[in-house]
């Protein structure tokens, strides 16, 4: 049987309600933070008016500076007179311990109060975990505002983040968390964002704790068409919502006894979904022949007739949310034909549904990385909030699995290289059970290499080079499929026993020592002689990465790729023929041959790059690409599945990226869609992250040398992956700042400084990336002989003289972009393409700047979609949801 749309809550409190009442009155589970209060001052303290116990927020956030309101000091309660502001970073987050699975009231207060003397009210975004919650606009709410939501945390940690979206500085005055009663405010989905919570009284007072055991804040509201009624009778709340007794003491009825009691409001977002909670109690002494009975009408649904209980509040609510036609909302209480008295209303709560679709990172991974952060005392501003999502705020030097929004991301890559870390390798690392790549190189780690690293089944790459580790390498780390790099640890034993030999009595010790030294010297001389005569054919997994130089001249024979040591699968030429259906479908042309579509295991799509027999440089590029793809693992680089090295038949098999290349989606050629500005910025960021990994995450560092739009591939979700590493070169590790090499690359993208000097640095990739970014902005050819300014940098530089960015932006965007993000991206592209390499930013800096652009564009898109809750909160009933409790 289908449940009725309206539900009247008449369940008595009982034992459970009493327990909740006692707990709430004792503030159990309450978190009350006075943001900006120095911990050296009296903390915690009891706020005199409410009795709430407030503490400093210093232990709940690692960043920000403190300030105090200057405008109207003493007007507000003590917790709202101090504030914390965040001039640094783009996302600053509080981390709070809560009870997983229980509904909580989350409330944050914001008041500028001209704390900095600049008179510039800020505007910024507020996030709950990885999801946008609301926009805080103190340029509109100049006297301060609050945000409040009823939310069920999906983990025992609740993260509330302030995100910078423009030039102003985010701030927060107070943060309050209150656990709610079980079974209250149940929704079909989503959380409940407070729209209004009112009690009907003709005054300017408010009610909160201790009158309300959950510390809900009730604002008084009254209209001239109503008549005020009140009582001094001590009533009771008869349901689990437990409205405060102050709400019970007053009510409103329409002055015209035959008219309905109507409350109306409007919203600019016609798609807002509402939940209403209507509270009423009979607080008048009725005559024997008097009757009060009414229906509640909302969204075309009429409740059953209601006779309010005497001195006992009941709550009426809907099981499902409703929208308002055209954004115009109206709630009516209509007297029935049998009623002799008008309808009555004590209080009303209105909430809008806020969906949080992005799942938080897997809780076990979050706890693990937080423990790692604590163990190594990492205090980066960028290491706040959810580690993986949203992607523009992903912790730097960390990567995660890319799944749908409903699946919690997993951490797959952790790079702590060159972080100045001391101590042992933290045991918390083993709790990152999906970790594939771990780089701990160039630190000061001591102690033994833990065996648990070898037991982490997902790990395929570990770099512990250049530390001070000792002992022997555990047997578990010698498993097949795991690449371990450990050079630069002089006290680390590579094989055999690490126990020192037993001491021998003199003179045997001296004789043995002299003999040992002589043997060692002879052995070293023999090895030097042999290695000069013959290059070793294999490199052990424990001795460093395989060395495959693209400059080595070789012949095609049956042993042409015998030196490749990898966990990747080696295929026969017959298998390559079968997987490509005899090379039936060509999907492109790579650095050394044709690329074919293939199918592996009957379902897995792959791309097969086959070396052309006529290619003179092909084998060098083949070996270079194998060298790089064998030892790099990153979400924004194409991944190698395997290779073929059978006689003259050489092929690379790597993941198939089905959405073509970036160039196609800028031009719309081949039936490809033209991507919007927000997606372009995300693609640029992801490509930059791939390059940053090559420059900073690889040892030795790698230079791509052929960054261009056709080498940026896009998967089903338009996630960017750098491809074609045939021209890539290792960056020197011996202290030099460049390598000298034959000129290679694509005209137009080629670094002019590298072209003149043959000196290759990572800034050569930065130049090429700048050209790619200019293509994404303008959709202009890199070189166009028909233009007066043939090269794209010259053309953009000439157009910039007009000061009108619309003449530069791709006309296919039809003006749909945030001008601030467009200008920032353009400035970044031109700085990357600076003729002087010393004036170009690093790829790490490029990543930071692109994140800023993406934040700005996302803010514009949210506003255009009507998700700015401050603008949608304008109501005709003039409910001030930004009201601050005054000190009076």
Active site residues per annotation: 706
Neighbours of 662 (CB within 10 A): 26
DSSP of 432-446, one letter per residue? -TT--EEE--SSEE-
Three-class secondary structure assignment of 27-89: CCCCEEEECCCCCCCCCCEECCCCCCEEEECHHHCCCCEEEECCCCCCCECHHHCEEEECCCC
Per the document, the length of the chain is 888
What are the angstrom distances between the C-alpha of 813 and each of 327, 499, 679, 784, 821?
30, 69, 11, 21, 14
What number of other Cβ atoms are within 10 A of residue 606's Cβ? Answer: 20
CB-based contacts of 505, cutoff 8 Å, min separation 6? none
State the Cα–Cα distance between residues 861 and 821, nearest whole angstrom: 12
Contact 320, 188 (CB under 8 A): yes
| Residue 623 backbone dihedrals phi, psi, to 5 degrees | -65, -35
Q: Measure the CA–CA gap between 385 and 127, rounded to whole angstroms.
A: 9
DSSP state string for 300-313: TEEPPPB-PPBTEE
Non-local (6+) Cβ contacts of 830 within 8 A are 770, 774, 793, 796, 797
Burial class (CB in 10 A: 0-12, 13-18, 19+), 88: exposed
Q: How far apart, in whole angstroms, are the C-alpha atoms of residue 380 and residue 52?
A: 33
Location of structure tokens 């914390």: 84
Q: Is 504 annotated as a binding residue?
A: no
Tokens coding 788:
């007066």
Give yes or no for a contact between 772 and 712, defined as CB atoms under 8 angstroms apart. Answer: yes
Q: What is the DSSP letter of 286?
A: -
Closest CA to 163 of 193, 133, 142, 143: 133
How far, in Å, CA of 524 to CA of 518, rounded? 10
Q: How far apart are CA 468 and CA 288, in angstroms?
A: 92
β-sheet bridge partners, residue 589: 594
The token duo for 240 is: 């689990």
* Residue corresponding to tokens 């013959």: 534
What is each CA distance from 371 to 428, 449, 759, in whole angstroms? 6, 19, 43
Q: How far is CA 468 from CA 245, 449, 491, 543, 609, in A?
A: 67, 10, 7, 16, 42
b/e map of 388-406 (b: 16 or more CB within 10 Å)?
bbbbbbbbbbbbbbbeeee
Per the CB < 8 A criterion, the answer to whether 705 and 764 are in contact is yes
Torsion on CA atoms 811, 813, 817, 820, rounded to nearest 10? -30
Alpha-carbon span 465 to 643, nearest angstrom: 28
Cβ neighbours for 303, distance < 8 A, ≥ 6 positions apart: 6, 8, 295, 296, 297, 316
Q: Quote the CA–CA distance of 531 and 528 in Å, as a whole number.
A: 5
User: Cβ contacts of residue 781 below 8 Å, gap of 6+?
Assistant: 792
**Nearest Cα to 174, choosing from 106, 124, 87, 88?**
106
What is the spatial distance between Cα 682 and Cα 679, in angstroms, rounded to a whole number? Answer: 5
- Of 563, 607, 612, 605, give the one whose Cα is nearest residue 591: 612
Residue tagged 């709940």 (tokens): 60
* Numbered residues of the known binding site for ATP: 609
* Numbered residues of the known binding site: 609
């Amino acid at each position: 049987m289908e449940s009725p749309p309206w539900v009247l809550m008449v369940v008595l409190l009982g034992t459970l309600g009493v327990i909740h009442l006692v707990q709430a009155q004792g503030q159990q589970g309450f978190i009350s933070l006075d943001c900006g209060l120095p911990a050296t001052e009296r903390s915690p303290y009891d706020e005199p008016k409410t009795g709430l116990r407030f503490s400093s927020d210093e232990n709940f956030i690692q960043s920000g500076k403190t300030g105090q309101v200057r405008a109207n000091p003493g007007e507000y309660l003590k917790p709202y007179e101090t504030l914390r502001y965040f001039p640094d970073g783009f996302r600053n987050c509080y981390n709070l311990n809560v009870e997983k699975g229980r509904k909580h009231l989350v409330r944050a207060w914001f008041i500028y109060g001209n704390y900095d003397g600049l008179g510039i009210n800020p505007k910024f975004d507020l996030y709950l975990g990885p999801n946008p919650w609301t926009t805080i606009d103190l340029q509109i709410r100049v006297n301060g505002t609050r945000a409040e939501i009823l939310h069920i945390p999906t983990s025992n940690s609740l993260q509330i983040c302030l995100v910078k979206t423009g030039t102003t500085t985010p701030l927060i005055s107070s943060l309050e968390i209150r656990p709610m009663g079980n079974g209250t405010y149940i929704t079909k989905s989503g959380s409940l964002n407070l729209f209004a919570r009112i009690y009907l009284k003709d005054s300017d007072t408010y009610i909160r704790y201790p009158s309300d055991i959950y510390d809900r804040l009730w604002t008084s509201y009254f209209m001239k068409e109503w008549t005020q009624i009140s009582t001094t009778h001590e009533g009771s709340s008869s349901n689990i919502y437990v409205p405060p007794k102050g709400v019970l003491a007053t009510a409103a009825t329409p002055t015209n006894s035959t008219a309905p009691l109507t409350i109306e409001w409007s919203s600019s977002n016609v798609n807002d979904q509402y939940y209403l909670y209507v509270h009423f109690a009979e607080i008048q002494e009725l005559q024997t022949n008097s009757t009060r009975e009414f229906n509640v009408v909302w969204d075309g649904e009429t409740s059953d007739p209601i006779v309010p209980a005497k001195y006992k509040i009941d709550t009426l609510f809907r099981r499902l949310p409703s929208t308002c036609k055209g954004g115009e909302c109206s709630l009516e209480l209509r007297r029935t034909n049998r009623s002799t008295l008008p309808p009555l209303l004590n209080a009303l709560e209105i909430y809008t549904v806020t969906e949080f679709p992005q799942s938080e990172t897997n809780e076990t991974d979050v706890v693990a990385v937080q423990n790692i952060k604590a163990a190594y005392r990492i205090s980066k501003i960028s290491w706040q909030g959810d580690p993986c999502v949203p992607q523009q705020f992903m912790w730097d030097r960390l990567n995660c699995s890319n799944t749908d929004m409903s699946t919690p991301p997993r951490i797959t890559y952790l790079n702590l290289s060159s972080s100045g870390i001391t101590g042992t390798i933290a045991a918390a690392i083993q709790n990152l059970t999906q970790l594939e790549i771990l780089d701990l190189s160039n630190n000061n780690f001591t102690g033994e290499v833990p065996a648990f690293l070898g037991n982490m089944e997902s790990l395929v790459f570990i770099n512990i080079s250049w530390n001070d580790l000792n002992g022997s390498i555990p047997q578990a780390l010698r498993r097949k499929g795991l690449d371990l790099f450990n050079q630069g640890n002089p006290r680390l034993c590579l094989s055999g026993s690490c126990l020192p030999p037993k001491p021998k009595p003199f003179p045997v010790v001296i004789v043995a020592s002299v003999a040992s030294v002589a043997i060692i010297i002879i052995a070293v001389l023999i090895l030097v002689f042999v290695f000069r005569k013959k290059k070793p054919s294999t490199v052990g997994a424990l001795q460093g990465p395989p060395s495959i130089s693209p400059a080595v001249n070789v012949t095609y024979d049956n042993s042409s790729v015998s030196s490749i040591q990898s966990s990747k699968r080696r295929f026969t030429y017959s298998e390559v023929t079968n997987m490509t259906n005899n090379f039936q479908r060509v999907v492109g042309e790579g650095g050394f041959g044709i690329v074919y579509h293939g199918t592996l295991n009957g379902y897995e799509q792959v791309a097969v790059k086959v070396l052309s027999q006529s290619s003179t440089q092909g084998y060098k590029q083949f070996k270079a690409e194998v060298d790089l793809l064998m030892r790099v693992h990153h979400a924004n680089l194409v991944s190698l599945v395997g290779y073929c090295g059978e006689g003259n038949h050489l092929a690379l098999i790597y993941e198939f990226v089905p959405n073509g290349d970036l160039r196609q989606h800028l031009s719309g050629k081949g039936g490809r869609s033209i991507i919007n500005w927000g997606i372009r910025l995300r693609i640029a960021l992801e490509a930059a992250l791939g390059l940053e990994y090559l420059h900073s995450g690889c040892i030795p560092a790698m230079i791509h040398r052929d960054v261009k739009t056709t080498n940026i591939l896009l998967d089903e979700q338009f996630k960017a992956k750098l491809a074609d590493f045939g021209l890539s070169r290792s960056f020197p590790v011996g202290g030099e700042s460049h390598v000298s090499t034959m000129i290679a690359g694509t005209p137009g993208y080629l670094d002019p400084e590298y072209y003149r000097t043959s000196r290759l640095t990572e800034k050569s990739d930065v130049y090429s990336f700048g050209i790619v970014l200019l293509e994404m902005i303008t959709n202009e050819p890199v070189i166009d002989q028909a233009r007066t300014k043939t090269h794209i940098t010259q053309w953009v530089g000439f157009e910039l003289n007009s000061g009108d960015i619309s003449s530069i932006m791709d006309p296919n965007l039809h003006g749909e972009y945030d001008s601030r993000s467009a200008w920032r991206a353009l400035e970044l592209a031109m700085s990357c393409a600076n003729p002087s390499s010393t004036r170009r930013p690093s790829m790490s800096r490029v990543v930071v700047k692109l994140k800023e652009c993406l934040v700005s564009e996302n803010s514009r898109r949210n506003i255009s979609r009507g998700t700015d809750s401050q603008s949608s909160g304008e109501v005709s009933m003039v409910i001030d949801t930004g009201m601050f409790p005054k000190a009076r």
